[in-house]
A and B are shown apart, each in its own frame.
Chain A
């Protein structure tokens, strides 16, 4: 829709009312703008019109046939009627046609009560049926994977879900099959659906054809109390509704937020709420007595923690350290920072628990350097070591919209990305070559006319021609071998192209933790150093909240040593995580959907949290726990209401406003510079010493929270590693076979997926599967980790992925 005021407008008459709209507006949009309701099924305002359902018929003067208002551009002087008897008859006819093969099993349909077909039949339908024949008959329900259920009988073939996959997500997850009255929506071969966004098709389905497996029959719409809040999984902070029934979140829906997620959500957001209601939540404080964690009262636990903190502070404030922040709200982070910074006085605070020493993650502030809306207007996207759909799915939807308008997508990674078919250029390199390749690209750009080296031409040409270049550096690049070199090269590329460099790093509320004081103070140690000092006996108390270092620290042994070396470990946890199991005191805390407050997303935008449900048992909010400890240490934090706390946030960090972006710190122009990719670290000998190990991100994992969400656990599948077919053939690894991955430091056994998604010469291991952790195989400081692969048993029949 043109918005240039210089462009003339068109004025048409709808139901006797003059409506003035910009040219290019459809009659449907004009009517809606004027508050005149026209029924629709196939039209969806985030997609171009299709004109398939024929529901939006209107009568236009001097046009013989009824017209579909969703496809008809408004023209000057047009006289439109939405209530003409001919229109009414047409709409009744269409609804009658739609209903003849619709099962009318509304009482047992999850859509019943919030169903456009129901509502429109009620309002525009004929009110009776002349249909006496047999209805279309399909086997139902069909399960299309762990989260999606298909009922083909209910489908009215509006094609919204198919077009969502084509136009919005670009993954073509659902397609149309057969034709005519046997037409059906399905996945190819009715295989489990392959998508990160399939929950949206459930949301936009105008009938109950696509329903959620996890929400199935759990509530009717009138049972639910919707609570507006913010999703805290990936860190983009999508706006959500938590639908609560009987004190339990039964469903998550997208809440419209044009600046962030528009009306979309990824499947982690849609299906990642079960953990809140898990029966394994901690409900009472635990204190280690005689080597065992036993239940204690809050008084007892808090007194113990306060006395140990006081003792440590009195010895030296620097003998206390704080780790974590990802799962804390902004307010929690602020209060934690005050407790440890002001009351105890230690500078050793860090939320970057999962950053390895020497990695580029410790060199720059995390976060995007432009709003998502500006990214959507970009014309070149260079993703370096960032698997956008696995890490920040909603960011991809922004990029997809731009790519459809002609933007160039350039991919540089050690794995082929799901979105590669939308890419103009793709470079698949072994993990240890990422720095060199990024450097080569920067060199080629700076050399300009000299002619880029073979293979880089398309990327160089696209970046050189780009006017709004976005370079996104992901965790894989920052924390991988030569991360600093990748970052330095990316800075050069962004500078040369006048583009923006984004550090796509941080999950949950990492950015809020970074902003509100959970970074090392003056003379403070970063997280890896805290662990090293803890192991060396330099710490008396290690305090962990909003993190699970036992599974997040990328060297398991570093954590274990730290735990052994520190006298007293305090953990805020919702579950008896690996960290909690090793703690001296475990304080049961609320999870983010149970908290009021705010979080900060990757853009630096402050977003609201609203407690959807109460916590289990005696669990308390982190902020409250910090305040109680502070009080025992003689400091009274008097934050009454949430508003007062938000005022404190604004006072602490000028520029923080609800819903607004406060940009994260800029990337320094000069970085540590080129760090040569390290030599292959000592690995076990053997036939495949030339294989290196790299960890990659998956959206669906089996961690402490995701492992307690039914849909997500199932979507994640079994723990596995990715091996290139050439390597697999050489090593005798059958697809789907169990293999043992071994380094000099440890070994894990898991399933091998043989696929050319990975570059040859490496084994990719998804992180986030707590049962099989890559971090048991790694020893800091590492640059490149050599790994040996030993097949254990042949693939089980049909076990191929």
Chain B
């Protein structure tokens, strides 16, 4: 292993500095200054949005939509607008938002305040995943402090502007991480994705214009305003990668966008366990198409991965070494989507159950040679036909595994049993 100096982090460091869950240490370190300037009018909304556009910040929830652009879409004349924070971090092996929520709640609150003041929202909702009990406690405690200090609620920072922030826990559904399903859930209904258009920016929560951003995205905002977009961009621009799986040091790493997959695995995360060989890696959570050894030198950015047919997604890198059984991994992944499918649209609801049934059969030694073509057929039937990205997440990894690891499937079909 070569010696590697991890670059200085500008976002993650807030979560990694002890004491940042408290208001005073956070303010002493320069926190809430950006929000104060926005509240005081020192930074006009246009300037904030300009800075975001210039920074090149893109949504960190998965879709990677340019954040500045998104903020511009919110109509300025609307009588009521909302800010909704997507903290339903359900993508398997993604844990960057939780790290930020638990380590730097004030960074998020500051980001929410800036967003609300910029788009003219008086109310913001933080939608947390049900399982984030600790994050919720931390965030609510931080909100109490901020409210007591006059930073949240009526007349923030002594201005005439009100921003109320409400924390809401979901009911435990992966689909609630999809932005329109999240809005449905927040309104008290089943988390089923909505038809788009209208987009949330036009008709979101309670049919009002709504700015919906991911936790990490909003945590970048105060940093951009503090450093300025140019200096921010010098850091990469930075992104938080959740690295997990067969690496020595799994965890959240801040690295510049475009970092090589090889560097993330071997430099940041300490490499593979001794004696193991790299087999595959999901670059952006289990919804992304897995990469294989040929792709180790691919830059981890939005466009390079898209060219390969994969995606950066939530930047959750799941590393798989040669000890793993790819058929089992794919079967487990599809099973996850089967459990989490909301049931609204046909291909996702039926395709996931069918694919898991076939995969289970193969794993139990009852596979047939024609099952591989069948799996490809199921994947083809689900591609481009689903209502929302959940169903569309299944085919890429299924197809890629059939392409790259067909021999493993064939071994099962030839009579091997689980674990060879």
A-to-B contact residues, CB < 8 Å: 49-55, 57, 64-66, 71, 89-90, 93-94, 96-98, 100-101, 130-131, 133-134, 136, 156-157, 159, 176, 178-183
Is residue B221 contacting chain A, with contact meaning CB distance below 8 A? no
Interface 0/1 of B163-180, CB less than 8 Å to A: 000000000010100000
The main secondary structure of chain B at its interface with chain A is: helix
A595 to B339, CA, bound (A): 57
Report the nearest B residue to A71, measured CB to CB: B195
A-B contact count (CB 8 A): 99
Contacts of A131 in B (CB 8 A): 354
Find the A residue at minimum CB distance from B384: A65
Q: A54-B346, A93-B381, A176-B343 are in contact. List 8 more A-B contacts (CB 8 A).
A: A49-B195, A55-B346, A90-B384, A98-B350, A133-B357, A179-B343, A180-B341, A181-B349
Given A52, A98, A101, which contacts B353 in the complex, CB threshold below 8 Å?
Answer: A101
Asked if residues A181 and B350 are in contact (CB atoms below 8 Å), the reply is: yes
Given that A54-B385, A71-B195, A96-B381 are known contacts, is A178 also in contact with B346, CB under 8 Å in the complex?
Answer: no
Known contacts: A52-B344, A94-B385. The answer to whether A176 contacts B195 by CB under 8 A is: no
Chain B residues close to A by CB (< 8 Å): 173, 175, 190, 195, 338-347, 349-354, 357-358, 361, 374, 377, 380-382, 384-387
Closest to A57 in B: B385
Contacting residues, chain B, for A159 (C-beta < 8 A): 344
CA distance A55 to B387 in the complex (A): 11
A100–B385 touching, CB < 8 Å = no
The reply to whether A101 and B387 contact each other, CB–CB distance below 8 Å, is no
| Cβ-defined contact, B343 with A134, below 8 A | no
User: Are the CB atoms of B387 and A54 closer together than 8 Å?
Assistant: yes
The 10 closest A-B pairs by CB, nearest first: A93-B381, A183-B343, A97-B350, A65-B384, A180-B341, A133-B357, A181-B353, A180-B343, A179-B343, A52-B344
Contact yes or no, A97 B351, CB < 8 A? yes
The reply to whether A52 and B346 form a contact with Cβ atoms under 8 Å apart is yes
Residues of chain B with a CB closer than 8 A to A64's CB: 384
Bound Cα distance A51, B192 (Å): 12
Most interface-central of B175, B343, B354, B374 (chain A CB within 10 A): B343
Given the complex of chains A and B, what is the CA–CA distance between A545 and B405 in angstroms?
A: 84
Contact across chains for A97 and B341 when beta carbons are under 8 A apart: no
Q: Once the chains are docked, how many angstroms separate the CA of A547 from the CA of B379?
A: 66
10 intermolecular pairs with C-beta atoms under 8 Å apart: A54-B385, A54-B387, A65-B385, A97-B354, A100-B350, A133-B361, A136-B353, A157-B343, A178-B343, A179-B173
Out of A53, A65, A176, which one reaches B345, CB within 8 Å?
A53
Question: Is the beta-carbon distance between A181 and B338 smaller than 8 angstroms?
Answer: yes
Residues of chain A within 8 A (CB-CB) of B374 are 130
- By DSSP majority rule, is chain A's interface helix, strand, loop, or mixed? loop
Evaluate contact between B358 and A180: CB separation under 8 angstroms: no
In contact, B349 and A51 (Cβ under 8 angstroms): no
Give the docked Cα–Cα distance between A101 and B357 (Å). 12
Indicate if the CB atoms of B342 and A180 lie closer than 8 Å.
yes
A180→B346 contact, CB < 8 A: no
| A57 neighbours in B (Cβ, 8 Å) | 385
**CA separation between A130 and B357, bound complex, in Å?**
13
User: Does B349 lie within 8 Å of A157, measured CB to CB?
Assistant: yes
Q: Which residue of B lies closest to A184 (CB)?
A: B343
Docked pose: A176 CA to B175 CA in angstroms: 16
In the complex, what's the smallest C-beta–C-beta distance from A132 to chain B, in angstroms? 8
Chain A residues contacting B344 (CB-CB under 8 Å) are 52, 157, 159
Q: How far is the CA of A71 from the CA of B353 in the complex (A)?
A: 26
> When the two chains form their complex, are residues A66 and B385 in contact, meaning their CB atoms are under 8 A apart?
yes
Give complex CA distance A98, B190 in Å: 22
Tell me the smallest distance from the CB of B182 to a CB of chain A, in Å.
15
Q: How far is the CB of A304 from chain B (nearest CB, A)?
A: 68
| Chain A residues in 8 Å Cβ range of B350 | 97-98, 100-101, 181
A156 in contact with B342 (CB, 8 Å): no
B353 neighbours in A (Cβ, 8 Å): 101, 136, 180-181
Q: A50-B195, A65-B384 are in contact. Are A94 and B343 (CB under 8 A)?
A: no
CA distance A181 to B341 in the complex (A): 8
A180 and B352: CB pair below 8 A?
Answer: yes
Cα distance A93–B346 when bound, in Å? Answer: 10
Distance between Cα atoms of A156 and B344 in the complex (Å): 10
Known: A53-B346, A66-B384, A101-B353. A180 touches B339 (CB 8 A): yes
- Contacting A183 at CB < 8 Å: which of B173, B347, B349? B349
- Chain A contacts of B346 at CB under 8 A? 52-55, 94, 97-98, 156-157
Q: Are B343 and A181 in contact (CB under 8 A)?
A: yes
Q: How far is the CB of B187 from chain A (nearest CB, A)?
A: 13
Task: Name the residue of chain B whose CB is nearest to the CB of A91.
Answer: B385
